[in-house]
Amino acid sequence: MVEDVFEALKWFSIDKYDEASKALTYGEWIYLLWIRCDFWDFNPENPPVWNKKFAAIQKNMWEQKKSDYWQFIDKITNGDAINPSSLKINESGYDDSVEDYCPGIFKINASYLQFLAGNNLIDGMSNDEYLDRIHSNDPKYIDTKNRRVIDIEIENEDKQSDFYVEIDLNAKDDVIFDALRKLISIERRKRGITPVKYITESDIKKFSNLRLLHYLDVMLFCKAKSLNINNVILSKVLYPDEYEANPVERVRKTMPELAKTVMNGNLLRASEYKFSLK
């Protein structure tokens, strides 16, 4: 049994992972963690309950994610999962095919509008009609082209419009930012929200030293292949060169807790926002 596990993990190279993880930029780290976060709790054998109205669409999305999942498992075994160039990402940590991607700004693309239009979710209009309204003076679909203000919609926890914030572009930046900081502070206090911390450069060094990417990929692979790997074997796979520390205790407690913390969309999103301001 032990021999079977080591045989299945013969693709794993500590030296390659050490070298790759130490060479990654901050942005590349966040991007690679995002990919693993997307699949960390994913079970290709356990599809969700489909919504009757959107069952066909949801099933297609599920099948696509299953395909992406197994492709990523293949990338783990052939070494591409830690190679930014094979994942088509640049040194900033973003997919090269998404040139206009801006963290924190979400754009409605044509395919999404077509989905909304096809399901009568934008007042029965086609996506072209909707876009025409956006660029017209229809008061229901605000045109910002010639306006001196920006309208921001604030949603509540039920995704319903809570209130709108109107920003006067004639005001100085420090006045606008101070007002927004005050507003955000008030709304967080009312809703009991604490801002999520972000990953720091020192955290990245810690992740590299603890071999976090190594751990994540080994665990993802073992889960995908239904390999039963215990803490003793895992410690020998990940830390064969550790003599002073207790590697068994590390994989039993430290690494699962660290993985749970890092494989969190809110933490990675906050880190992504922070990185975008550099």
Please, what is the average pLDDT of the chain? Answer: 76
Q: Are 275 and 27 in contact (CB under 8 A)?
A: yes
What local confidence, expressed as pLDDT, does residue 131 receive?
Answer: 52
Same domain, 186 and 141: yes
Has residue 253 been placed in a domain?
yes
Taking Cα atoms as reference points, which of 73, 87, 86, 34 lies closest to residue 219?
73
Q: Are 72 and 83 in contact (CB under 8 A)?
A: no
Q: Which residue has the tokens 């994913």?
A: 42
Question: Domain total for the chain?
Answer: 2
Same domain, 136 and 258: no
Same domain, 11 and 42: yes
**Mean pLDDT along residues 250-275:** 87
Has residue 140 been placed in a domain?
yes
Same domain, 49 and 19: yes
What local confidence, expressed as pLDDT, does residue 148 receive?
Answer: 45
Percent of the chain at pLDDT > 70 equals 68
Choosing from 148, 168, 191, the residue where a domain stops is: 191
Same domain, 84 and 202: yes
- Of 18-22, 184-188, 247-251, the poorest mean pLDDT is in 184-188
Has residue 101 been placed in a domain?
no
- Region at 88 (left for phi over 0; alpha for psi -120 to 50; beta for the rest): left
Q: What is the pLDDT of residues 174-211, one digit of tens each?
A: 877 777 777 778 777 877 877 778 899 999 999 999 99
Q: What is the pLDDT of residues 95-149, one digit of tens each?
A: 544 444 434 333 344 444 455 555 554 555 555 665 555 445 455 544 444 444 4
Q: Are 197 and 273 in contact (CB under 8 A)?
A: no
**Mean pLDDT along residues 216-239:** 94
Has residue 121 been placed in a domain?
yes
With 0.85 as the threshold, say if the pTM is over it: no
Q: Which has the higher per-residue pLDDT, 216 or 165?
A: 216
Whole-number CA gyration radius for the chain: 23
Domain that holds residue 237: 2-96+197-276
Same domain, 208 and 170: no
Crossing angle, helix 26-40 and helix 255-262, to 10 degrees?
100
Has residue 82 been placed in a domain?
yes
Does the pLDDT at position 167 exceed 90?
no
Q: Are 133 and 141 in contact (CB under 8 A)?
A: yes
Choosing from 162, 191, 220, the residue where a domain stops is: 191
Has residue 104 been placed in a domain?
no
How many angstroms separate the CA atoms of 46 and 208, rounded?
32
Has residue 105 been placed in a domain?
no
Same domain, 32 and 91: yes
Has residue 224 been placed in a domain?
yes
Choosing from 137, 158, 191, the residue where a domain stops is: 191
Return the H-helix or E-strand segment holding 168: strand 161-168
What local confidence, expressed as pLDDT, does residue 141 receive?
Answer: 47
